[in-house]
Chains A and B, each alone.
Chain A
């Protein structure tokens, strides 16, 4: 049985002090910390068996190749996919760019691509660029005031012209867990492929991509306890077989003649050049680690903490929480604004108290426009966060509020009390 303490003990960084306060790391939607087993797996690779993969007959290369492909297998299974269907990339952004390029030859002018108002720029800009190159049309699904997809609007927008539906599984601003299965059914009925940005969901929701029936699903290792610079995407086997590679070089070919070449099998057909071997090995260690903790613990811990945080933060004066206000179908990604205090000032003041949050537009400018705010301060949880850290956050927010609203909260004799 894993307790919060036993989980935390595997992340030495959590013992750090920041500005004389214990660190409360609440910026997990940006990147999570890494358990010692992940750091060790990467160190072991570089100190014990570093070699290139797929091309050496010597012992080290064989060991590296085995660890790398075995890592892919464990990661793919973790997502309910087969290794042939799991292409390694540099991360979610890279994956979506590659998928957009792969689908490009299939698009005709006036075909439609549907994204939503809550997309990260990574799942919006590649499609904006794709429609410019192909003459296809980009459509945007609006969201409701609660921060969920407007499914009534979906019926009006989705049509026989829709060829690609590109949506995030979970919003990195609002925390919304989106009904991807329903979207997949509707999109497939209309004859469209579904590309899902899974950057935020992968660390927090057990996934079976085959049964979810998505066509593509992009993820980043660094948001799920693994190293940076590493990620991948799942693509349905039968679709990947039909599509052509978009970048070329070593490893991805079967044979090359002076003027032409044929492609390697899946998944290597889409992976030119020397891959991020240590990244794959570290990522595989991360999914092993998550499985050793177990989804029951991971999910229960985070859901409880999210509800606790929503209840606690609501009591801070001047706070508005953007996004669903209960922990139902919601991750622990909590975007806040405070009356009269800019998100940047909030983040700086929280940092003084050892609380790490992110402030800004979170790579979701169209969503900021929809919300009618310039930016938010965002706290986001991982499985090692505890209630004490939420309390530390709430206290630091109170301090920020007091600093910017001295006349309202400072205790003064009643006759001197005045309001700004």
Chain B
């Protein structure tokens, strides 16, 4: 574990997030907001045969929340959906390779919370469109 919260890898993901954007034909999506600071992540996933076959995200927020979400999307691509759903905070910290204090834990796990919400919230295709439309209008889609 590195003491350096802002090691180069984190900054690189923040500046050039992997898997950024939206997914046409997403089978599940979710949005999470960290109410204390307004950080947000919207995640789209395509689940085929119970695997995460593709994932994209759009977000707004601090380096920690955005970099950890970017790294998470790399990690779960191709992963078993059940396995992805069971990822823990510990897995995220290991993935980041840094020590995160209690004040920043919410930032580090914003992507994970979004992922869990998306995978738990699998809803029938028919109602998805409605929910999706609502979600989209609420979502701040660009990073400032």
Contact = CB atoms under 8 A, between A and B. Distances in A.
B36 A342 contact: no
Contact of A345 (B6, B38, B60): B6
Nearest to B107: A344
A348 B5 contact: yes
Nearest to A368: B38
A361 B61 CA distance: 13
B62 interface: yes
Nearest to B38: A374
Count chain B CB atoms within 10 A of each CB in A374, A403, A404 and give the residue with the most.
A374
B39 interface: yes
B38 A403 contact: no
A375 B64 contact: no
Nearest to B39: A374
A343 B11 contact: no
Contact of B63 (A342, A359, A361, A373): A342
B6 A403 contact: yes
A354 to B, nearest CB: 15
A349 B6 contact: yes
- Number of chain B interface residues as a range: 10 to 19
B61 A374 contact: yes
Contacts of A374: 37-39, 60-61, 144
Given A360-B36, A374-B38, A342 B11 contact: no
Interface string B2-42: 00011000010000000000000000000000001111000
Contacts of B39: 342, 344, 374
B121 to A, nearest CB: 25
A361 B6 contact: no
B104 interface: yes
A370 to B, nearest CB: 14
Contacts of B6: 345, 349, 403
B93 to A, nearest CB: 16
A87 B77 CA distance: 60
Contact of A344 (B11, B37, B60, B144): B37
B15 to A, nearest CB: 8
A375 B5 contact: no
Nearest to B104: A348
Interface string B47-66: 00000000000001111100
Given A345-B63, A345-B64, A361 B5 contact: no
A374 B33 CA distance: 11
A107 to B, nearest CB: 30
Contact of A342 (B5, B61, B103): B61
Nearest to A372: B144
Contact of A375 (B11, B38, B103): B38
Contacts of A373: 144
A344 B62 contact: yes
B38 A344 contact: no
A359 B37 contact: yes
A119 to B, nearest CB: 18
Interface string A342-362: 111100110000000001110
A110 to B, nearest CB: 31
Given A345-B6, A348-B5, A403-B6, A375 B63 contact: no
Nearest to B140: A374
Interface string B81-124: 00000000000000000000001100100000000000000000
Count chain A CB atoms within 10 A of each CB in B11, B60, B63, B64 and give the residue with the most.
B63
A377 to B, nearest CB: 11
B143 to A, nearest CB: 10
A224 B11 CA distance: 40
A374 B60 CA distance: 9
Contacts of B38: 361, 365, 368, 374-375
B56 to A, nearest CB: 21
Contacts of B37: 343-344, 359-361, 374-375
Contacts of A345: 6, 62-64
Interface string A188-228: 00000000000000000000000000000000000000000
20 contacts: A341-B63, A342-B61, A342-B62, A342-B63, A343-B62, A344-B37, A344-B39, A344-B64, A344-B104, A344-B107, A345-B62, A360-B37, A361-B37, A368-B38, A374-B38, A374-B39, A374-B60, A374-B61, A403-B6, A404-B63
Interface of A: 341-345, 348-349, 359-361, 365, 368, 373-375, 403-404
3 nearest interchain CB pairs? A342-B62, A374-B38, A344-B62
